[in-house]
Amino acid sequence: MKKVRFIYNPYSGENIIVNELDNVIKLHEEAGLQIIPYRIQKGKDLSQALEDIDNTYEYILIAGGDGTVDSVVNAMKKKKIDLPIAILPVGTANDFGKFINMPNDVTEACNKILNSKPVDVDLGEINDKYFINVASTGLFTDVSQKTDVNLKNTIGKLAYYLKGLEELPNFRKIKVNIESRECKYNGEMYLLLVFNGETAGNFRLATQADISDGKLDVIIFKAVPIIELLPLFIKLLKGEHLDSNKVVYFKTDDLYVQCDEDIVTDIDGERGPEFPLRIRCIKSGIKVLGIN
């Protein structure tokens, strides 16, 4: 019987996966697969979850949000494990899961995974780390990092919005230098987002994203007068923001970012590396189940 390493984050979302463990095991056993679970624990190196992976394993099943997926993918790359991954999107924000149309219902998601074949998907690389959905820097990009886990589990996405309101006094222009073959931007911005996926915080921002085109979607929100932000936000809600002259948008597979200001970077809700940043797209960097 082939095995599946099941790595689950019991702290994700509203702890949904904890009550679904037996269901996940049952569905896989019915499909002739043996679940080998690993419970993520705070303070423990995730590489321990992959120590005994060999050719008897079919794939890695990950239950959590985008940050959990990133952590597992980074551990896999470090150990040079090339197995497909499958995602049960049970976190507070499941942007990549939504992008690949994974159901929130665990039973539906498992059935979709079990009836699919691996698909090659692009992967983002930022300095020495990898990301599945989005890397960002600028205003509000560390909101997820600062939001209390217990608060997220209690009130969900509302916790992010409340924390974002707390950050409004820090609203300011940020000087940045961004270079690629396709575009150069040396000026002031509010926010930089580099997408492999499509959404961030459930907002569809990279509306032209394609996870198999070998390109990342870069969106720079320029530092415009505050009075111009409301019309821009309305355009964003309509999905028309990429055509705005207040936004710089392009696709690339290689990007350099330099910023001397006191801001952090973010990779799917987790702290990213320090500046300068080299952000690249690894075409067909990972195989994912449940897409077709």
Q: Quick one: pLDDT band at residue 19, thresholds 50, 70, 90?
A: very high
pLDDT for 44: 84
46-63 pLDDT per residue, tens: 989 999 999 999 999 999
Assess whether 51 carries a catalytic annotation. Answer: no
- Based on the fold, state whether residues 224 and 249 are members of the same structural domain: yes
Give the model's pLDDT for residue 157: 46
| 227, 251: one domain | yes
DSSP assigned state of 273: P
Q: How many domains does the chain have?
A: 2
Last residue of a domain, one of 115, 148, 166: 115
Are 56 and 191 within one domain?
no
Please identify which of the residues 20, 125, 270, 274 carries the catalytic annotation.
270
- Is residue 37 in a domain? yes
Is residue 98 assigned to a domain? yes
% the chain with pLDDT above 70 = 89
Question: Is residue 290 included in any domain, yes or no?
Answer: no
**39 and 153 in one domain?**
no
Q: Report, as an integer, the average pLDDT of 57-84.
A: 96
Domain-ending residue, one of 84, 115, 146: 115
Are 223 and 173 in the same domain?
yes
pLDDT digits (tens, 9 = 90+) for 194-240: 999 999 877 899 999 999 999 999 999 999 888 888 888 888 888 89
Same-domain status, 151 and 110: no
Give percent of the chain with pLDDT exceeding 90: 71
103 and 177 within one domain:
no
Look at residue 232 in the predicted model and tell me its pLDDT.
85
Residue 124 has pLDDT above 60, yes or no: yes
User: For the segment 146-163, what is each residue's pLDDT rounded down to a tens digit?
Assistant: 445 554 444 444 444 444
- pLDDT of res. 171: 66
Together in a domain, 161 and 29: no
Cis omega before residue 84 (within 30°)? no
Residue 228 lies in a domain: yes
Residues 88 and 155 in one domain: no
From 80, 115, 150, the end of a domain falls on: 115
Q: Are residues 69 and 201 in the same domain?
A: no
Q: Supply the CATH number for residue 162's domain.
A: 2.60.200.40
Confidence band for 8, pLDDT divided at 50, 70 and 90:
very high
- What does the mean pLDDT of the chain come to? 89
Per-residue confidence (pLDDT) for residue 237, from 0 to 100: 80
Q: What is the mean pLDDT of residues 65-76?
A: 95
Q: Does residue 50 sit within a domain?
A: yes
Q: Is residue 292, in this structure, part of any structural domain at all?
A: no
Q: % helix / strand / coil in the chain, to the nearest 5? A: 30, 35, 35
The enclosing domain of 82 has a CATH number of: 3.40.50.10330
**What are the start-end ranges of the E strands in the chain?**
2-8, 33-39, 57-64, 85-89, 119-126, 129-131, 134-138, 174-179, 184-195, 199-200, 203-204, 216-222, 247-252, 254-258, 265-267, 270-271, 277-288
Torsion of CA 67, 238, 158, 16, to 10 degrees: -50
**Residue 264 domain boundaries:** 129-283
Confidence of residue 170 (pLDDT cuts 50, 70, 90): low
Query: Rounded distance, CA 216 to CA 182, Å?
Result: 12
Do 153 and 108 sit in the same domain of this protein? no
Q: Is residue 121 a part of any domain in this protein?
A: no
Hey, how many other C-beta atoms are within 10 angstroms of the C-beta on 27? 19
- What confidence score (pLDDT) does residue 151 get? 41
Q: Please tell me whether residues 108 and 147 are part of one structural domain.
A: no
